Amino acid sequence: MTSDALTAAPPQGRRLDKRRFEWNTSLLLLPAGILIAAVFVYAVGYSFYIGLTNLSLLGPTAVVYHFTGAANLSRLVHDTFFLHSLWVTFLFVFGSGVVGATVIGLALALLMQKALAPIRLAAAAVAMIAFMLPPVTIAVVWYAASVPQGTFARLFGNPNSDPLFSAPLLFVSLANMWSLVGLAMLLFVAALRNVPSDITEAARLERAGAIRRFTSVTLPLLKPTIVTSALLMTLLSLANFTIVWLMTGGGPGTATSILPVYSYQQGFQFYHLAYGALLGNVMLILTAIFGVGYVKMARGKRQKGGSS
């Protein structure tokens, strides 16, 4: 409102309260702007272009390649491995991110409310360390735990069994979930602190049981956090390549070939850079959809917070 008011500037010096675009603002934005444009506009745009060419990693089309129109797209819609990969990606993201991490994160946050200090601190510390570790280390510890002679094989009673081979998608999903629960837990611990105690107290006075208090009072109040967490976990799981690639390489067979893995294999193992890029573009579009949802949630909260 005030920013574009056409008040005459005082002859000497500028008014500091008047909001107008200053020339050196663009200089401040320029370095970050150029870098971001180079990667997120140029490289992403280039990715969409490459996806519609016949570029390959080796051979003549590695040097001289050209636009092939919808050829790669028609390959994509007829590619049964792509459909399979999409399905595996869905199971991985939904199972480990949306359901696994969010539900266990919420459960941990709820249990921590009533827990004894040492148990609460131990649970928080373990979940946070798992969240902070670099992806490569997460892959190493989960690989070690799920191969023959590893922790899970022994826990299930047969040290020579190979859990990672017999249930590969389950174990890479568990590894991913394990690495995300800490973040979900943080979100829910914070949200639970904002649940006003007088509401739960009122429900208690109305003789509502613990389960009823949870489903009718706490859960509705936590709904925005649950949606935020599910979206954030979806985005973080979609971005995952390292854990799956290091634990299984997408195998055995194609059992764990989530889209980022399939894209990498097409590009760098089968030398189909163009088709790999196209698969990456599918990921970009999926991410954009969930990302816009996430940003909308964030903005909704800001507006609500601003008005109160």
Q: With contacts defined by CB under 8 A, name the span among 25-33, 67-75, 83-91, 93-101 that binds other proteins.
A: 25-33
Question: Would you count residue 111 as binding other proteins (CB under 8 A)?
Answer: yes
Q: How far apart, in whole angstroms, are the C-alpha atoms of residue 60 and residue 133?
A: 43
Question: Would you count residue 210 as binding other proteins (CB under 8 A)?
Answer: yes
Other CB atoms within 10 A of residue 168 CB: 22
* 97-108 burial: b if 16+ Cβ within 10 Å, else e: bbebbbbbbbeb
Q: With contacts defined by CB under 8 A, name the span among 35-43, 70-78, 91-99, 212-220 that binds other proteins.
A: 35-43
DSSP per residue, 223-292? HHHHHHHHHHHHHHHHT--HHHHHHHTT-STTTT--HHHHHHIIIIIS--HHHHHHHHHHHHHHHHHHHH
DSSP label at 53? B
Q: With contacts defined by CB under 8 A, name the span among 39-47, 70-78, 87-95, 212-220 that binds other proteins.
A: 39-47
88 or 130: whose CB is closer to other proteins? 130
What minimum distance in Å lies between the beta carbon of 99 and other proteins? 16
Among 91, 103, 140, 255, binds other proteins (CB under 8 A): 140
Site for other proteins in 238-257 (CB under 8 A): 238-239, 241-242, 245-246
Site for other proteins in 69-88 (CB under 8 A): none
Q: State the number of binding residues for other proteins (CB under 8 A).
A: 113
Question: Would you count residue 90 as binding other proteins (CB under 8 A)?
Answer: no
Whether the link from the prior residue into 159 is cis, omega within 30° of 0, is: no
Question: Would you count residue 283 as binding other proteins (CB under 8 A)?
Answer: yes
Amino acid identity at 88: V
Question: Would you count residue 190 as binding other proteins (CB under 8 A)?
Answer: yes
